[in-house]
Structure 1
Amino acid sequence: MLIVQNIRLSRILRNTWQIDIIMIISCTGAYLAREFLIKHHFELPSIIPTVLGTAIAFFIGFNNNQSYDRWWEARKIWGALVNDSRSWARCMVTYISANEMSEQEFNALKSNLVRRHIAFLYALKANLRSAVDENYHKYLSEEDLLEISSHTNVPNAILTLQSRDLQQLSTDGRIDGFRFMEMNQLLVKFSDEMGMSERIKNTIFPTTYNYFTKVFIWLFVVSLTLVISQYAGLWSIFLGWLVGFVYVSTQINGMSLVDPFENNSSAIPLNQITRTIEINLLEMIGAQDIPKPVKPINREYIL
């Protein structure tokens, strides 16, 4: 996620240079075509780029709105995960009764349930980014790792372990019925938030929207160059590219938000969010091995 108010020109050019070259070539081709092929036969009506420009503005506006909705929904889901994770750790620390357990065993029980939740978050992040993230291994016991090894959906398997242990706490009388229902509801929320995140990840943004927008921008740039070349001459190549650059940059900006879980500067900062939860939860159980917060990259964005 970008954390700066002003974006460097180098970043913009790095994202658009390939399309810029194609637009310049297209504008040059349109200018030469008018000068040597169609100049003495007919002139392209100015109404054509006018109508195309208006249509493209609607297309880009719609695409960008839908892209931002996906990004913002993903951010709300992970914001809820932050709050629910803290509530889960708070329940582990305050709701469970020791009964006849020793203090060491009691602390180990609470620590295991909290650390297993941190593993759930890292496993979910790895699934959403289609990455191999081994961070969750260090928060699981050998028995847990062996049990989830046969599952394709690791975070879902971890939630099953949590639910099983929660039921055992109720059976052993370490939590009453009301607290069991409250803690189980948190597991249901985790499952819902996992499912909503997977829905965004697995729902592909309609390809036709992006494809037709690109085609229409190309037609617009070519037709605009053909029209203004009769007034601006060779400068029409630069002016055609300049106007096209505005449309292309706006469209690319919106499309960069389509996949909010990707590991790039435009996506939501899963690394920062999971690390923040990790720090908070470890502090709540009095752990010593607390990692440092995630730092911004080049003071420009955070992953």
Structure 2
Amino acid sequence: MLLKQNLRLHRILLITWKVDLIMLISCVVAHYADIILLKEVTIPAALPTLLGTAIAFFIGFNNNQAYDRWWEARIIWGALVNDSRTWARNLLAYFSEASESKIIGEDLRQCQRTMIYRHIAFLYALKASLRKCDYSDYEKFLSREEVEKVKTFSNIPNAILDLQSHDLQRISKEGIIDGFRFLPMNDLLRSFCDGMGKSERINNTVFPTTYVYFTRLFIWMFVVLTTMSIAGSVGHWSIFLGFMVGFVFHTSHINGMSIMNPFENTTAGVPISSITRTIEINLLQALGEQDIPEPVKPVDGEYIL
């Protein structure tokens, strides 16, 4: 996620240089094609004007849909932050030593620690799943037996939630928490599952390829027609003007496409690495742990992943 309101020139060039180069070549070819090959053909200025208006609607639709996907992803992970803190708070505050329970003293403390650590593992496993990377960060928060067990499942985050549900049921039967406290904690597990499912829905739903493809095609047509329509009146300046008009349209479209897949490990994506680390820090501090990791640091002060 970008942290600054203003972009440096090198980052703009890094994002657009390929399109800029192709567009410049296209404008040069279009200019000389108009003055050499199509000397007797005059392209009316109204043609690129109408086409540009239509393309603006296409780009606006694409960008709106892209931002909706990005913002929904950010809301989902914002809810995971709040629910994770509540989960740890409830585990630490709701547990009590029931007289009929076998879980007392240090065993009770270890149970709390295990369930909080397991939740951190859930977040790291979910992050790895969304970014389609083979991260094993979650393993250090699970026991060896739990690691071997969850690896037998195709959906590791969901398998970790299953372990949490079984332990929650066990401590309820042991009398560690009563029915009134069991319900909100079970609702939190359901919220975690909802957040996971919503994230997977966004991640696995491909934006219709035809919208992206035809929008790009129409922009290239627009750039060529604009250059050719003004070549006769402004001469070689048509190359520069066609390039500038195309730069505006292409860059606007690239901006939308950069956030179309919000969980990608890019500068414009939702910073789920930073969010996961923040939750980890909060939960470990709630436990009173001493070995607390540092927050994820911004890259060059410009963005955070």
Aligned counterpart, 1:107: 109
Aligned counterpart, 1:249: 251
Aligned counterpart, 1:82: 81
For residue 103 of structure 1, report the CA deviation from its aligned partner: 2.4
Aligned counterpart, 2:216: 214
Tell me which amino acid in the other structure corresponds to 2:10.
S
- Equivalent in 175, 178, 184 of residue 176 of structure 1: 178
For residue 42 of structure 1, report the CA deviation from its aligned partner: 2.1
Per the normalisation by structure 2, the TM-score is 0.97
Aligned counterpart, 2:280: 278
Deviations 1:41-73 (A, max 9, x none): 221111110001101111111100000000000
Per the normalisation by structure 1, the TM-score is 0.98
**Comparing 260-269 and 284-293, the one that deviates more:** 284-293
Task: Please give the alpha-carbon distance, in whole angstroms, between the structure 2 residues aligned to 1:148 and 1:254.
Answer: 37
Deviations 1:91-139 (A, max 9, x none): 1000111235442212111000000000000000000000111111110
Tell me which amino acid in the other structure corresponds to 2:2.
L
**Structure 1 runs (4+) greater than 6 angstroms displaced:** none
Q: Secondary structure at the match of 2:268?
A: coil
Aligned length: 302
The percent of aligned pairs where both chains have the same amino acid is 58
Paired residues for 1:202-241 under 5 Å: 202-241=204-243
Note the aligned Cα RMSD (angstroms): 0.9
Q: Secondary structure at the match of 2:164?
A: helix
Aligned counterpart, 1:12: 12
Task: Please give the alpha-carbon distance, in whole angstroms, between the structure 2 residues aligned to 1:122 and 1:64.
Answer: 30
1:31 paired to 2:24:
no
Q: Secondary structure at the match of 1:281?
A: helix
- Unmatched runs of 5 consecutive residues or more in structure 2: none
Task: Please give the alpha-carbon distance, in whole angstroms, between the structure 2 residues aligned to 1:76 and 1:116.
Answer: 23
Paired residues for 1:150-189 under 5 Å: 150-189=152-191
1:259 paired to 2:293:
no
Task: Please give the alpha-carbon distance, in whole angstroms, between the structure 1 residues aligned to 2:136 and 2:30.
Answer: 53
Q: Secondary structure at the match of 1:87?
A: helix
- Unmatched runs of 5 consecutive residues or more in structure 1: none
**Comparing 272-281 and 94-103, the one that deviates more:** 94-103
For residue 35 of structure 1, report the CA deviation from its aligned partner: 1.0
Task: Please give the alpha-carbon distance, in whole angstroms, between the structure 1 residues aligned to 2:135 and 2:156.
Answer: 11
Task: Please give the alpha-carbon distance, in whole angstroms, between the structure 1 residues aligned to 2:142 and 2:109.
Answer: 16
